[in-house]
Structures are given as structure tokens and as C-alpha cells.
Amino acid sequence: MIRVLIVDDHAVVRHGLKQILNDTGDLRVAGEAGDGVEAIQWLRRHGDDCHVVLLDISMPNKGGLDTLSQIHREFPRLPVLVLSMYPEDVIGLRTLKAGAAGYLTKQAAAEQLVEAIRQVASGHRYVSPALAEQLADSFVNGYQGAPHELLSDREYQTLCLIASGKTLSQIAEELKISIKTVSVYRARLLEKMKLKNNAELTRYAVSKGLVD
């Protein structure tokens, strides 16, 4: 029996996923968490009772990328399957580089989700055909990815939060860092992406589907 921890900030989504998994003969939901903080706390208590983490990447408090990195550090043998609203070309490669065992969009069919969980639970990676093509391009043709893929996790979070209309002080509070540090991340990401200001940053984020 493959036991899964579902991490998503929407109760309706968790309920739907739970139904899909519990209706499958070899899968069971071991636990649920509404954000990254709850997920880490649950794993520290019940990690031995979990075989796969099904993780949303867009969550309040501790974001999905931060949660993914921490799980990878504290539980390196525990596979994490990222389930996200974002298409593969937006953030798929980033999650794999951060330690995810697989990436799947929320538009995927239930059968695809079940197969992905089985695959990562058996020690393999799961990527969709679209993401596999990206990976092939990165190795064969020297594909460097979109500009936002060059950012660190913190820089990427800062990008998304600025594009969502958050002020530097609000970002500092959400990420639990100083305003000065947020300013440093902002300067770095603007330089890396060759953008001039927040308006250009926001237009880029919207055009790539990084924010609603």
C-alpha cells in the first residue's frame, strides 16, 4: 500500500484528491496539510508512515518551493510529486532541480495522477511528455530556459510576490526576512532578467502565467 501525504491550501482540492487516491486499490491518504509548515510538522511526527508527498507549489505561509527544498533536506529518500496549476514550461524544470521526483499539472487526468504516484513511489521520476521534451532540449540543444528559471528560489518568490502587488514590507513579512534582504533579491532578479523596474517585472510575470 502506497501512503500519501497531500499538501494543498484548498480543502476542496484535498478532498477531491483524497477521493481519487482512496478509490484506488494500492493507494491511501496517510495525512493532509494546508501549507508547508503543517507538512513539515506532520512529516517530523509521521514520516515513517508516508511513501510519497503530493505537494502544491503555490501556498501561503511557507511556499511550495521552500517546502520542497526542506523536505529534500530533512527526508532525502522521500519522493515528492509536485501538483500545480502552472503548466510545465513555467515551473516544471525548477521543481525538478529543487529535488522533486516528478511534476504534474492539476489539469491531468486522475489516471495520470495515480500512475505518477506509483512511479515516484517505486524510485523513478515522473515527467509529462511536454516536460520530457524540455529536458531533452536542455541537454541536446543547450537550452537555457526562460529568464525566470535562472533565479534562485527566493528570487523567484520575490518576483511572484512583487508581480502580485505586494510591497517590500509585505514580502518581508511573508517570507520572514528583512526588507533590506527583499531589496537585494529584487535587485538581483531585475539584473538577471534584464528588467528595469517593477512594471516590467509584473508584465513579464503575467505574460508567463506566473501570477493570476
Does the pLDDT of residue 139 top 70, yes or no?
A: no
Cell of 114: 495515480
Span 87-101, pLDDT tens digits: 666 677 778 878 899
Q: Give the span between the Cα atoms of 183 and 112, in whole angstroms.
A: 41
Kind and range of the H or E element at 16? helix 11-22
Q: Taking the domain 2-140, which CATH number applies? A: 3.40.50.2300
> Domain 147-207 is of which CATH architecture?
Orthogonal Bundle (1.10)
Give the mean pLDDT of 10-38. 94
List, in sequence order, the alpha helices (H) in the chain.
Answer: 11-22, 36-46, 64-74, 88-97, 110-121, 129-140, 153-163, 168-175, 179-193, 198-207
Does the pLDDT of residue 21 top 80, yes or no?
A: yes
Domain range summary for the chain, segments of one domain joined by +: 2-140, 147-207
List, in sequence order, the alpha helices (H) in 47-109.
Answer: 64-74, 88-97
pLDDT cut 90: percent of the chain above it: 53
